[in-house]
Amino acid sequence: MLTTTNTAINIRYSNLAEESCCLSCGGALNHAKAAQGEICGDLGSGRGLDVIRLAQTVGSGGYAYGVDISEGMIQKARRNIEKFDIKNASIIQSHLEKLPFKTGELDLLISNCTINHAADKNAVWKEIHRSLKTGGRFVVSDIYSLEPVPEEYRTDPEAVAECWAGSVTREEYLEQLSAAGFDNLEVIEESSPYDKGKIQCVSWTIRAYKS
């Protein structure tokens, strides 16, 4: 899906791939508590460091996939996987709206500060639901906006790529999760509201199981 927003995302994150700035908005990986032998994915895997930690945790009987669209991030993550000599991990170039997993393939999906960028979040949550096995879980750190983001920003590719203008309200977020089949949501962390770009937003880390 080549859209102007995805082009802006590719440019922004490819430029950030060699930087060391933190791009996360919560502790999804730590809260995920991956176990030996699990098959896992990280949506918006960036430089690949969470994928590497997942791979080390699940061991040789498990596997960790990273998914990202930005060329620079994908290359950086693949180099990191090679540098740490990780054999049970790989990075797949894919959009979140059509995940490269078989139905019911995964025990665990994590994501950190990525889903807010996606143009069709309903499709993303449905894909997360499809990709998890029954009893599997997602643990996602992301942001939501306190008020609906004004259209002038929502439709601005640069503002969406900057990780704020694509965000939806808490209410809309919960509706999307429910529409995808996740009704047992746990809120693990939730920040106080803070300013980001031209909006006020909240960071949270959430978990739900596929029943």
Ligand X SMILES: C[S@@+](CC[C@H](N)C(=O)[O-])C[C@H]1O[C@@H](n2cnc3c(N)ncnc32)[C@H](O)[C@@H]1O
Binding residues for ligand X, rule: CB under 6 A, are: 9, 13, 23-24, 44-46, 67-70, 73, 95-96, 112-114, 117-118, 163
**Least distance (Å) between residue 22 CB and ligand X:** 7
Phi, psi at residue 86, to the nearest 5°?
A: -90, 125
Q: At residue 185, what is the residue type?
A: L
Closest CA to 26 of 146, 110, 114, 113: 113
| 39 vs 49, beta carbon nearer ligand X | 49
**Least distance (Å) between residue 134 CB and ligand X:** 25
Q: At residue 112, what is the residue type?
A: N
**Least distance (Å) between residue 170 CB and ligand X:** 20
Q: At residue 37, what is the residue type?
A: G
| 95 vs 129, beta carbon nearer ligand X | 95
How many other CB atoms are there within 10 angstroms of residue 20's CB atom? Answer: 6
| 46 vs 197, beta carbon nearer ligand X | 46
| 60 vs 79, beta carbon nearer ligand X | 79
Q: Answer yes or no: are the C-beta atoms of 98 and 175 closer than 8 Å.
A: no
